[in-house]
Structure 1
Amino acid sequence: MRVRDLPSAEGKTNAFEVNNLLLTRSRACKIVEAIPGASIMKRSRLFRDTDEFCIFTIGPDKFAIEEPYGDNSRYWIGAKDGKSTQSLPLVRRAFEEHKSWLPPLRTLSAAVAVLLAALLYSKASQFIEQDKCLDSGGRWEAKSNTCSHIAQ
Protein backbone atom coordinates (compact mmCIF):
# COMPACT_ATOMS: atom_id res chain seq x y z
CA MET A 1 0.00 0.00 0.00
CA ARG A 2 1.24 3.50 -0.73
CA VAL A 3 2.11 5.51 2.38
CA ARG A 4 2.56 9.29 2.51
CA ASP A 5 4.73 10.58 5.37
CA LEU A 6 3.68 13.69 7.25
CA PRO A 7 6.77 15.35 8.75
CA SER A 8 6.61 17.75 11.67
CA ALA A 9 8.07 21.26 11.64
CA GLU A 10 11.33 19.73 12.90
CA GLY A 11 11.42 17.37 9.92
CA LYS A 12 10.65 14.18 11.88
CA THR A 13 7.87 11.93 10.65
CA ASN A 14 5.21 11.91 13.33
CA ALA A 15 2.31 10.59 11.24
CA PHE A 16 1.47 9.23 7.81
CA GLU A 17 -1.54 8.90 5.53
CA VAL A 18 -2.87 6.00 3.48
CA ASN A 19 -5.46 6.07 0.72
CA ASN A 20 -8.76 4.61 1.89
CA LEU A 21 -10.31 3.83 -1.48
CA LEU A 22 -9.88 0.08 -0.92
CA LEU A 23 -9.22 0.13 2.82
CA THR A 24 -12.19 0.10 5.17
CA ARG A 25 -12.07 1.28 8.76
CA SER A 26 -12.45 -2.30 9.91
CA ARG A 27 -9.58 -3.46 7.67
CA ALA A 28 -7.32 -0.71 9.02
CA CYS A 29 -7.98 -2.02 12.54
CA LYS A 30 -7.17 -5.57 11.41
CA ILE A 31 -3.83 -4.41 10.01
CA VAL A 32 -3.06 -2.91 13.42
CA GLU A 33 -4.10 -6.16 15.16
CA ALA A 34 -1.46 -8.03 13.14
CA ILE A 35 1.36 -5.80 14.47
CA PRO A 36 3.30 -7.65 17.18
CA GLY A 37 2.67 -6.02 20.56
CA ALA A 38 -0.22 -3.86 19.35
CA SER A 39 -3.31 -3.63 21.53
CA ILE A 40 -6.49 -1.96 20.26
CA MET A 41 -8.22 0.24 22.81
CA LYS A 42 -11.04 1.56 20.60
CA ARG A 43 -12.42 0.02 17.43
CA SER A 44 -14.70 1.33 14.73
CA ARG A 45 -18.43 0.88 15.27
CA LEU A 46 -20.55 0.96 12.16
CA PHE A 47 -22.51 4.23 11.78
CA ARG A 48 -21.49 5.40 15.29
CA ASP A 49 -18.02 6.60 14.56
CA THR A 50 -16.31 9.83 15.12
CA ASP A 51 -13.42 10.84 12.88
CA GLU A 52 -11.08 8.93 15.19
CA PHE A 53 -12.08 5.31 14.73
CA CYS A 54 -9.14 3.27 16.02
CA ILE A 55 -6.98 3.90 19.07
CA PHE A 56 -4.20 1.46 19.86
CA THR A 57 -0.99 1.11 21.81
CA ILE A 58 2.37 -0.46 21.11
CA GLY A 59 4.33 -0.52 24.33
CA PRO A 60 4.10 2.94 25.89
CA ASP A 61 3.18 4.62 22.60
CA LYS A 62 -0.48 5.50 21.95
CA PHE A 63 -1.68 5.86 18.35
CA ALA A 64 -4.84 6.84 16.53
CA ILE A 65 -6.28 6.29 13.08
CA GLU A 66 -8.72 8.88 11.91
CA GLU A 67 -10.57 9.94 8.82
CA PRO A 68 -10.34 13.73 8.87
CA TYR A 69 -13.73 15.42 8.61
CA GLY A 70 -15.37 11.97 8.60
CA ASP A 71 -15.29 11.90 4.81
CA ASN A 72 -11.83 11.98 3.35
CA SER A 73 -9.91 10.00 0.74
CA ARG A 74 -7.17 9.19 3.25
CA TYR A 75 -6.73 7.90 6.77
CA TRP A 76 -4.36 9.75 9.10
CA ILE A 77 -2.28 7.44 11.28
CA GLY A 78 -0.01 8.78 13.99
CA ALA A 79 0.79 9.19 17.67
CA LYS A 80 -2.05 10.52 19.81
CA ASP A 81 0.18 13.21 21.26
CA GLY A 82 1.35 14.26 17.78
CA LYS A 83 5.00 13.49 18.52
CA SER A 84 7.33 11.11 16.77
CA THR A 85 7.65 7.71 18.44
CA GLN A 86 9.97 4.74 18.08
CA SER A 87 7.03 2.48 17.22
CA LEU A 88 5.79 4.58 14.29
CA PRO A 89 8.08 2.89 11.70
CA LEU A 90 6.63 -0.48 12.77
CA VAL A 91 3.08 0.79 12.21
CA ARG A 92 4.07 2.41 8.92
CA ARG A 93 5.66 -0.81 7.67
CA ALA A 94 2.52 -2.82 8.51
CA PHE A 95 0.40 -0.53 6.31
CA GLU A 96 3.04 -0.30 3.60
CA GLU A 97 3.26 -4.09 3.35
CA HIS A 98 -0.51 -4.61 3.31
CA LYS A 99 -1.55 -6.20 0.03
CA SER A 100 -4.71 -4.84 -1.48
CA TRP A 101 -6.95 -6.86 -3.76
CA LEU A 102 -6.70 -4.12 -6.40
CA PRO A 103 -4.08 -5.76 -8.70
CA PRO A 104 -6.11 -8.99 -9.08
CA LEU A 105 -9.23 -6.89 -9.55
CA ARG A 106 -7.56 -4.90 -12.35
CA THR A 107 -6.54 -8.12 -14.08
CA LEU A 108 -10.02 -9.55 -13.76
CA SER A 109 -11.59 -6.30 -15.01
CA ALA A 110 -9.30 -6.27 -18.03
CA ALA A 111 -10.19 -9.89 -18.86
CA VAL A 112 -13.91 -9.15 -18.57
CA ALA A 113 -13.52 -6.07 -20.79
CA VAL A 114 -11.74 -8.10 -23.48
CA LEU A 115 -14.41 -10.82 -23.38
CA LEU A 116 -17.21 -8.27 -23.60
CA ALA A 117 -15.50 -6.51 -26.50
CA ALA A 118 -15.13 -9.82 -28.36
CA LEU A 119 -18.77 -10.71 -27.72
CA LEU A 120 -20.01 -7.28 -28.81
CA TYR A 121 -17.81 -7.38 -31.93
CA SER A 122 -19.21 -10.78 -32.84
CA LYS A 123 -22.81 -9.64 -32.40
CA ALA A 124 -22.19 -6.30 -34.15
CA SER A 125 -20.53 -7.93 -37.17
CA GLN A 126 -23.41 -10.42 -37.44
CA PHE A 127 -25.91 -7.53 -37.33
CA ILE A 128 -24.01 -5.69 -40.08
CA GLU A 129 -23.92 -8.79 -42.31
CA GLN A 130 -27.65 -9.32 -41.77
CA ASP A 131 -28.36 -5.68 -42.60
CA LYS A 132 -26.28 -5.85 -45.82
CA CYS A 133 -28.13 -8.99 -46.85
CA LEU A 134 -31.56 -7.46 -46.34
CA ASP A 135 -30.54 -4.19 -48.04
CA SER A 136 -29.47 -6.12 -51.13
CA GLY A 137 -32.87 -7.85 -51.31
CA GLY A 138 -31.73 -11.13 -49.85
CA ARG A 139 -33.19 -13.34 -47.19
CA TRP A 140 -31.29 -13.88 -43.97
CA GLU A 141 -31.15 -17.46 -42.69
CA ALA A 142 -30.87 -17.20 -38.89
CA LYS A 143 -30.05 -20.88 -38.32
CA SER A 144 -27.03 -20.85 -40.62
CA ASN A 145 -26.26 -17.11 -40.41
CA THR A 146 -26.19 -16.91 -44.21
CA CYS A 147 -27.77 -14.74 -46.85
CA SER A 148 -29.66 -16.24 -49.78
CA HIS A 149 -30.99 -14.46 -52.79
CA ILE A 150 -34.12 -15.72 -54.48
CA ALA A 151 -33.92 -15.72 -58.29
CA GLN A 152 -36.90 -14.07 -59.97
Structure 2
Amino acid sequence: MIYELLNDNGELFAFEIESVYMPLSQIANTLEKIEGVSQIRNRKMFSSQDEIHIRFKFNGIDYIVWEPYGDNSRFWLGPDRDEYDDNIVEIFNLFRLYKPPFVTGLVGDLLSLDFKGLFRRLFNQQP
Protein backbone atom coordinates (compact mmCIF):
# COMPACT_ATOMS: atom_id res chain seq x y z
CA MET A 1 0.00 0.00 0.00
CA ILE A 2 2.89 2.39 0.67
CA TYR A 3 6.31 2.33 -0.97
CA GLU A 4 9.50 4.08 0.15
CA LEU A 5 11.55 5.99 -2.42
CA LEU A 6 15.19 6.30 -1.37
CA ASN A 7 17.91 8.57 -2.72
CA ASP A 8 21.45 7.42 -3.58
CA ASN A 9 22.41 7.70 0.11
CA GLY A 10 19.59 5.35 1.15
CA GLU A 11 17.56 8.19 2.69
CA LEU A 12 13.80 8.49 2.28
CA PHE A 13 13.07 11.42 -0.03
CA ALA A 14 9.48 10.58 -1.09
CA PHE A 15 6.98 7.74 -1.02
CA GLU A 16 4.10 6.35 -3.04
CA ILE A 17 0.62 5.38 -1.92
CA GLU A 18 -1.61 2.96 -3.83
CA SER A 19 -4.63 5.00 -4.88
CA VAL A 20 -7.03 2.07 -4.60
CA TYR A 21 -6.47 1.95 -0.81
CA MET A 22 -6.31 5.68 -0.10
CA PRO A 23 -8.19 8.23 -2.21
CA LEU A 24 -7.12 11.85 -2.44
CA SER A 25 -9.75 12.97 0.07
CA GLN A 26 -8.27 10.61 2.68
CA ILE A 27 -4.75 11.80 1.86
CA ALA A 28 -5.85 15.41 2.48
CA ASN A 29 -7.58 14.38 5.74
CA THR A 30 -4.45 12.59 6.92
CA LEU A 31 -2.25 15.58 6.07
CA GLU A 32 -4.49 17.81 8.19
CA LYS A 33 -3.59 15.71 11.25
CA ILE A 34 0.17 16.20 10.90
CA GLU A 35 1.78 18.90 13.02
CA GLY A 36 3.77 21.22 10.79
CA VAL A 37 1.55 20.75 7.74
CA SER A 38 -0.15 23.91 6.51
CA GLN A 39 -1.64 25.53 3.41
CA ILE A 40 -3.21 22.34 2.03
CA ARG A 41 -4.55 23.16 -1.42
CA ASN A 42 -6.46 20.67 -3.57
CA ARG A 43 -6.23 20.86 -7.35
CA LYS A 44 -9.05 22.74 -9.01
CA MET A 45 -11.09 20.89 -11.61
CA PHE A 46 -9.72 21.30 -15.15
CA SER A 47 -6.58 23.05 -13.95
CA SER A 48 -3.53 23.12 -16.19
CA GLN A 49 -1.55 20.99 -13.72
CA ASP A 50 -3.72 17.89 -13.80
CA GLU A 51 -1.05 15.62 -12.38
CA ILE A 52 -0.48 17.53 -9.13
CA HIS A 53 -3.54 16.93 -6.97
CA ILE A 54 -2.53 18.43 -3.63
CA ARG A 55 0.01 21.08 -2.63
CA PHE A 56 0.97 21.76 0.98
CA LYS A 57 3.74 23.05 3.17
CA PHE A 58 5.48 20.95 5.78
CA ASN A 59 7.71 22.88 8.16
CA GLY A 60 7.97 25.62 5.53
CA ILE A 61 8.95 23.35 2.62
CA ASP A 62 6.64 22.92 -0.40
CA TYR A 63 5.33 19.39 -0.92
CA ILE A 64 3.07 17.83 -3.53
CA VAL A 65 0.86 14.81 -4.04
CA TRP A 66 1.44 13.93 -7.69
CA GLU A 67 -0.10 11.34 -9.97
CA PRO A 68 2.50 10.64 -12.67
CA TYR A 69 1.07 10.78 -16.18
CA GLY A 70 -2.35 11.65 -14.72
CA ASP A 71 -3.31 7.99 -14.88
CA ASN A 72 -1.38 5.92 -12.39
CA SER A 73 -2.22 3.43 -9.66
CA ARG A 74 -0.06 5.32 -7.15
CA PHE A 75 0.20 8.83 -5.77
CA TRP A 76 3.72 10.20 -5.25
CA LEU A 77 4.19 12.32 -2.11
CA GLY A 78 7.34 14.35 -1.54
CA PRO A 79 9.02 17.76 -1.77
CA ASP A 80 7.99 19.89 -4.76
CA ARG A 81 11.52 20.50 -5.94
CA ASP A 82 14.72 18.54 -5.77
CA GLU A 83 15.00 19.48 -2.12
CA TYR A 84 15.79 16.78 0.39
CA ASP A 85 13.90 17.01 3.67
CA ASP A 86 14.69 14.36 6.26
CA ASN A 87 11.51 15.33 8.11
CA ILE A 88 9.47 13.49 5.48
CA VAL A 89 9.89 10.47 7.75
CA GLU A 90 7.27 12.02 10.06
CA ILE A 91 4.74 12.15 7.22
CA PHE A 92 5.68 8.67 5.99
CA ASN A 93 5.23 7.12 9.44
CA LEU A 94 1.69 8.47 9.81
CA PHE A 95 0.67 7.24 6.36
CA ARG A 96 2.28 3.87 7.06
CA LEU A 97 -0.07 3.44 10.04
CA TYR A 98 -3.20 4.07 7.94
CA LYS A 99 -5.54 1.09 7.67
CA PRO A 100 -8.27 1.41 5.04
CA PRO A 101 -11.86 0.56 5.95
CA PHE A 102 -12.63 -3.15 5.52
CA VAL A 103 -14.52 -2.84 2.22
CA THR A 104 -11.95 -0.43 0.74
CA GLY A 105 -9.17 -2.84 1.69
CA LEU A 106 -11.08 -5.81 0.31
CA VAL A 107 -11.69 -4.08 -3.04
CA GLY A 108 -8.09 -2.86 -3.09
CA ASP A 109 -6.74 -6.36 -2.50
CA LEU A 110 -8.91 -7.73 -5.31
CA LEU A 111 -8.03 -4.98 -7.80
CA SER A 112 -4.31 -5.14 -7.03
CA LEU A 113 -4.38 -8.96 -7.04
CA ASP A 114 -2.94 -9.04 -3.53
CA PHE A 115 -4.31 -12.44 -2.57
CA LYS A 116 -2.16 -12.70 0.56
CA GLY A 117 -3.58 -9.38 1.76
CA LEU A 118 -7.08 -10.53 0.86
CA PHE A 119 -6.62 -13.74 2.85
CA ARG A 120 -5.29 -11.83 5.87
CA ARG A 121 -8.12 -9.32 5.66
CA LEU A 122 -10.83 -11.98 5.36
CA PHE A 123 -9.48 -14.13 8.15
CA ASN A 124 -8.30 -11.24 10.33
CA GLN A 125 -4.66 -12.31 10.27
CA GLN A 126 -1.88 -9.83 11.06
CA PRO A 127 0.78 -9.35 8.34
Same topology, TM > 0.5: yes
Deviations 1:33-91 (A, max 9, x none): 11112113421334546111111112122211111111100010111123321320111
Q: Report the equivalent of 1:16.
A: 15
Q: Is the 8 A contact 1:25 1:44 kept in 2?
A: no
Q: Does 1:27 align with 2:57?
A: no
Q: Is the 8 A contact 1:33 1:40 kept in 2?
A: no
Q: Is the 8 A contact 2:6 2:12 kept in 1?
A: yes
The RMSD of aligned alpha carbons is 2.3
* Equivalent-residue separation in structure 2 for 1:46 and 1:82 (angstroms): 27
Unaligned regions of 5+ residues in structure 1, if any? 107-152
* Equivalent-residue separation in structure 2 for 1:8 and 1:73 (angstroms): 22
Larger Rg computed on CA atoms: 1
Helix, strand or coil at the partner of 2:90: helix
Helix, strand or coil at the partner of 1:36: coil
Identify which of structures 1 and 2 has the higher relative contact order when contacts are C-alpha pairs closer than 8 Å and 6+ apart: 2
Q: Report the equivalent of 2:87.
A: 87
Q: Which moved more, 1:22-31 or 1:73-82?
A: 22-31
Helix, strand or coil at the partner of 1:62: strand
Q: Is the 8 A contact 2:12 2:89 kept in 1?
A: no
- Which protein has the bigger helix share? 1
Q: Is the 8 A contact 1:12 1:84 kept in 2?
A: no
Change (3 A) 1:38 1:105: closer
- The aligned amino acid for 1:13 is L
Q: Report the equivalent of 1:101.
A: 101
* Regions of 4+ moved over 6 Å: none
Q: How many residues align?
A: 106
* Equivalent-residue separation in structure 2 for 1:102 and 1:70 (angstroms): 27
* Equivalent-residue separation in structure 2 for 1:9 and 1:104 (angstroms): 35
* Equivalent-residue separation in structure 1 for 2:105 and 2:80 (angstroms): 35
Report how far residue 6 of structure 1 moved.
Answer: 0.8
Change (3 A) 1:9 1:105: closer
Q: Report the equivalent of 1:63.
A: 63
Q: Which moved more, 1:56-65 or 1:96-105?
A: 96-105
Q: TM-score w.r.t. structure 2 length?
A: 0.71
* Equivalent-residue separation in structure 1 for 2:11 and 2:86 (angstroms): 11
* Equivalent-residue separation in structure 1 for 2:84 and 2:11 (angstroms): 7
* Equivalent-residue separation in structure 2 for 1:47 and 1:79 (angstroms): 23
